[in-house]
Amino acid sequence: MNALLASAPLLLRRRGALADLLPVIAFAAATAITGTVIGGAAAFVGRLPEGDGSAMSGEASLIPFLVICAMVASVLLIPSAVGLGGSAARLSLARREQDLAAIRLVGGTAGQVGAVAVLDVAAQALLGGLLGVGLHLLATPPLTALDFGITPFSTADLLMPWWAYPLLVLGMVLIAAGSAAVSLLGVALSPLGVARSSRTVRMSVMRLVIWAVLVIAFILFAQLGSMVLGPIADGMVFMAVMILFIGAVVAAVNLVGPYLVWAFALLAARLAPVPSLLVGARRLAADPKAGWRAVSGITFALVIAGFLTVLALLTRSDGTGGEEDVMMATALSTGGLLTLGIAAVLAAVSTGVTQTARVIDQAPLLRAQHVSGAQVGQLHRARIAEIVLPVLLSSVLATFTALLVVMAVLGGAPQDPMVAIQYLASVLGAYLLVIAAVLVGSPLVRRYALRGA
């Protein structure tokens, strides 16, 4: 216990206002998005009519389908928001590895180091969770102005029960603590390796195999599921399983993404024609998970954009349909834009926080490379190469995933050329987001490279 108390000031010392603020921002965004999505889905569930629905008309007849759509949006958004919280925990812990390793080397036990480190991350998660609840409460009243084509929601409809908010914050803290505990394994097992930053990164091909199996299983279920489940269950069971499959396929993108980044980075490093590409590719190969996290939010947003582009074109109303058709088109259009907006916010926070954090983490390396003769412009080009490679991969992977799901659900690829045009606009928006993240972090590259000069 005395060693634990003595090590706490060293471990908990602040590394800089910006470095400490980034995980809190990520935790706050994750909490706010999760609370908003759950509250919105619960609002639709609360509108479900009583009875078997055989004699329903108007708004009541649309609610069951809109509830399914809300569940699909929740399955797509919540895992990514929670994943942002887990990434924030690892981000908070990553820049304390030197302190953790030093404490281990002077006699601190793995349990003592782990307890202090996890408590530090949990404290940041608690602060971010409380801020996120506040953001959710502030953002909810404006959402009542959205037109879903049905009776407008009130603020009370879109808020969760009061007892759910402590559970939401507690869940974020537990996710952060769990992610930190897993990340600590490398420090506990090899403190010298952490201190020397000497790690051999090897990504298992099982990531690719698991993703391929999920994709094949999804395609088979989309084609044969209704026939298999038809004799033993109703259509709602098929829809529920389909929603779970969609969520699994989208989530598996984050499983296979780091492996593809690692493999592509090794290939690029071997074939690089210029030094900047070589340096950027080697950085990616040394930490492919961090490289993928920097673009995972954008990948997810592009997948959502692909879904919603097709959905918007399929549900366009020319005003000649009945009242229910107009209501359905309005509800799906508004819900789709809201989902894309939330995904864009998630992508912006994830990209900005992760890219800035990577520059902070690489500060000693940037300074060492500059002292060794690298110009600041060369360091900028190496960073751009480090970002461009995973962005290109994410664009391809997101396009494939979105097209796969759309073809499985619709039975074929959409023929309207507006699908490609609108999706390309979304890709362009994603690239502009990456450019913004690069511009935000560029002054930090110069600052750290010239520090002490």
User: Which residues, 6+ apart, have CB-to-CB distance to 151 below 8 Å?
Assistant: 47, 59
Residues 5 and 73 reside in one and the same domain: yes
Residues 188 and 83 reside in one and the same domain: yes
pLDDT given for residue 56 in this prediction: 58
58: region left, alpha or beta (phi > 0 left; psi from -120 to 50 alpha): left
Residues 228 and 168 reside in one and the same domain: no
Residues of the chain with pLDDT below 70 are: 1-20, 50-59, 90-113, 183-201, 225-226, 228-236, 308-325, 408-420, 422, 430, 437-438, 452-453
Distance CA 47, CA 255 (A): 36
pLDDT given for residue 13 in this prediction: 52
pLDDT given for residue 326 in this prediction: 74
Residues 284 and 162 reside in one and the same domain: no
pLDDT given for residue 189 in this prediction: 46
32-52 burial: b if 16+ Cβ within 10 Å, else e: bbbbbbbbbbbbbeebeeeee
The CB density around residue 338, as the number of other CB atoms within 10 Å, is: 18
pLDDT given for residue 309 in this prediction: 66
pLDDT given for residue 294 in this prediction: 73
Residues 384 and 452 reside in one and the same domain: yes
pLDDT given for residue 247 in this prediction: 76
Residues 428 and 315 reside in one and the same domain: yes
State which residues form the domain around 88: 1-198
Chosen domain end from 198, 232, 265: 198
Say if CB 128 and CB 172 are below 8 A apart: yes
pLDDT given for residue 221 in this prediction: 80
Residues 91 and 232 reside in one and the same domain: no
Question: Using CB atoms within 10 A of its CB, is residue 334 exposed (0-12), middle (13-18) or buried (19+)?
Answer: middle
Residues 175 and 158 reside in one and the same domain: yes
The CB density around residue 154, as the number of other CB atoms within 10 Å, is: 12
Residues 220 and 108 reside in one and the same domain: no
Residues 90 and 221 reside in one and the same domain: no
Residues 243 and 329 reside in one and the same domain: yes
Chosen domain end from 154, 170, 198: 198
Chosen domain end from 198, 225, 240: 198
Q: pTM higher than 0.85 for the full model?
A: no
Residues 265 and 360 reside in one and the same domain: yes
pLDDT given for residue 138 in this prediction: 93
User: Which residues, 6+ apart, have CB-to-CB distance to 292 below 8 Å?
Assistant: 254, 257, 258, 261, 390, 394
Domains held by the chain: number: 2
